[in-house]
Each structure stands twice: as structure tokens, then as C-alpha cells.
Amino acid sequence: MGSGSKKTKSSHTTEAEQGTHVFKIVGYTHKKGIGVGKFIQSGIFTVGGYDWAIRFCPDGITEATKQYASVSLVLMSKKAEVRASYGLSLVNQTTGLPESVCSETTTRVFNSSHASCSSTMTLVTRGSKLELKSAGYIVDNCLTIECNVTVVKESQVSKTTAVLEIQVPPSDLSEHFGKLLEEEEGADVTFSVGGETFPAHKIVLSTRSPVFRAELYGKMKERRAWLVTVEDMQPDVFKALLHFIYTDSLPDWDDLDDNDYFEINRHLLVAADRYAMDRLKLLCASILVDYLAVENVATTLALADQHNCDRLKEVCIEFMASSGKMDAVVTTQGYANLKRTCPSILVDVLEKTSRYRKT
């Protein structure tokens, strides 16, 4: 973010208020027979700043439903429109627990100016569902209805304000360590690799690699050793290894063509395995996957097997089996070398290829 940029913030908040009302009907049997569509009503209760009531129709709401009792939630506030959800329950007086007969978990609109001021009626068969003694709803001629209401309040958008912050730049740790390697200040060990020398810092190397730690501080070498000869490694590969140790990144190799880029990553993977640097090994393996081809897949498979790169090994086998170019792979020198040095791997390749051909 540049020095001239500005950051602002705002928020959108929607709150909800929940309330529960218990409506006890005493003398239930005396309410029966009041007539179809007629109701008894609870006291008015307030949730979310709006007034509500429970209505109970013991003889149903129409002639067609007069064998059913009904219960409903009604918005009593005048000239109001409210978004709410609700649940209506009959209390089992044996257990004391409410048992849901209707639950509208999706928020709906109650509008006191027309028919949507009440909930959809919930019907309960009087004989079998409601009035049987075994049901436990009516005890001592009392029926208890419980209603839970959740009112969604008006949403609010806060005023847009400036964000007060202190901008922290990205980490420059790798840059500082890169300069430490480049400028050689305080170097206390020198590596001789293929006729070239590379000054470095023991403490950095030992922190990043357990192998370097054993060589530079353990019994494998004298503690005051300042010159270490590295056999069987190219200077540019060791230089790349040091670059990764100090910066946790690979050097810029923009001047290399694809073949040279593939080769140096192949050698760097070997170096990473040698010095037990697992992240670097996986990084090199991922690059080799991007450059897999008929000409190098067998060689890469042998490399993966030799240096315990299981995932790279799996990818190579998959490539050889599914590419449809197995005949071409067989003609390469890499395949001939693989057949001679790692014949057991070819069993996996052939089995995988056979399964692909069957499908």
C-alpha cells in the first residue's frame, strides 16, 4: 500500500431479539363449544419492541376443521411490519417439556395492516392428539401453550470512517541474510567445491541443516575447521544451495534454457537430500514435475527412487502409465538405465499401465 493511499471501513449490522411466552388455559373443557372461528387470547407480550399474542381456537377455525383445535401467533402492534420467526409448542405436563406443534424457523413478515399479521394456523386433532390422558397435555383441566418468538430488528449501516493503522512492511529477513552471504562479513568457514571457494557462516548453516550442524559442530569435524572440501557436487549447485539456506528461495535462473533449468534442479534435489533439507527437496521435485517429458521421465523416476521422493515417484509412474507414450519412453536411454538399476520399479509402472489400458 503506497504512502498516499487511504483505507476506510464500515459495517452492516442486523440484530435479533428472542422472547418466550407461556399461555396457560385453566378450565380447558369449559372453553370447548364456544363456536367455530372463535378464540381465547393470551395476554399481550412484547418481543423486539412489538406486541404479540397467542390465540387458541378450541373448536377450529372453519366448519371443515371444527374437529381440530388451533393455535396461532398474532402481531398486535398497530401499523407495524415485522420480520420474525417463531415456534409454537404444547407443554407435556408429565415431563414439563414443550413439544413442538409448529416451528417457522425461516424469517417471515408479519404485517398488522392485513391478513399476514398472524401466523399460519396450527391444527391439533382434539380427540387423539390433544385430549387423551396419555398425551399428557391436559392435566387438572389445564392446557399450557409455549411460544418462542425471534424478532429481526432493523439493520444498521455504520458511518464510513477512516482506519487508523500503522503499516508494517513485509519481512526483509531473507534480504538481510542474503546480504550477509553476499558480503561475506563475519564468515567463519569456507567450502571448496570443484575448484571454487564459498565463504559462509557456521551458525547459519547449522541452523538450517542437521547435516551441516553435525559436520561443523559435531564429532565429524574439528570445531575450529575453517576449510571444508565438498566432493561430488558442482559449484553452481552448491552456490544455489547456500542461496536457499540464507534466503529460503531459489536463485534467479532466467538465463537458463529449459533443459539446463531442469538439470540444475535435478542436481539441487540431490544436494537437498544430502543435507537433509526437506523443503528444498520438495521445491525441486515440484519443478521437475512441471518439466516432465517422455525424454526425462524415466531418469526422473530413478532419481525419485534413489532419493526417497515418494510423491515425485508416484507422479512419474502416473505420467508413464497414462500418457499413452509408453512405447516412446521405452526407447529412451533413461528407461534402459532404469531397467538395469531399478527393475523393481518397472513392476509398478507396468501394473499401472495395464489398469489404464483396461479402462
> Tell me: the pLDDT tens digits for 173-218?
999 999 999 999 999 999 999 999 999 999 999 999 999 999 898 8
Strands (E), the chain: 8-9, 12-13, 16-26, 40-41, 45-47, 50-57, 68-75, 81-92, 97-111, 122-125, 138-139, 142-152, 156-157, 161-162, 189-193, 196-200, 227-230
CATH number at residue 347: 3.30.710.10
259 and 347 within one domain: yes
Computed over every residue of the chain, the mean pLDDT equals: 86
Q: Is residue 3 domain-resident?
A: no
Reference 312, options 331, 294, 292; nearest CA is 292
191 and 134 within one domain: no
341: Cβ contacts below 8 Å, ≥ 6 apart: 302
Q: What is the pLDDT of residues 244-266, one digit of tens each?
A: 999 999 999 989 999 999 999 99
Q: Which of 17-31, 32-46, 146-160 has the lowest mean pLDDT?
A: 146-160
Say if strands 189-193 and 227-230 run parallel, antiparallel, or are unpaired.
parallel
Domain range enclosing 253: 173-358
302 and 229 within one domain: yes
**Alpha-helical segments (H) within 7-133:** 28-31
Look at the chain and report how many structural domains it folds into: 2
Q: Is residue 282 domain-resident?
A: yes
253 and 108 within one domain: no
77 and 138 within one domain: yes
- Domain boundary pick from 95, 122, 153: 153
Q: Is residue 310 domain-resident?
A: yes
194 and 75 within one domain: no
Instruction: Give the C-alpha separation, 65 to 316, whole Å.
Output: 73
218 and 99 within one domain: no
| pLDDT at position 87 over 90 | no
Q: Which of 15-29, 76-90, 218-232, 291-305 has the lowest mean pLDDT?
A: 218-232
Q: Is residue 319 domain-resident?
A: yes
The pTM score is 0.56
Q: Which of 213-217, 220-224, 237-241, 322-326 has the lowest mean pLDDT?
A: 220-224
Instruction: Give the C-alpha separation, 343 to 332, whole Å.
Output: 15
CATH number at residue 71: 2.60.210.10
- Domain boundary pick from 121, 153, 185: 153
- Domain boundary pick from 120, 153, 186: 153
Instruction: Give the C-alpha separation, 166 to 96, whole Å.
Output: 57
| pLDDT at position 130 over 90 | no
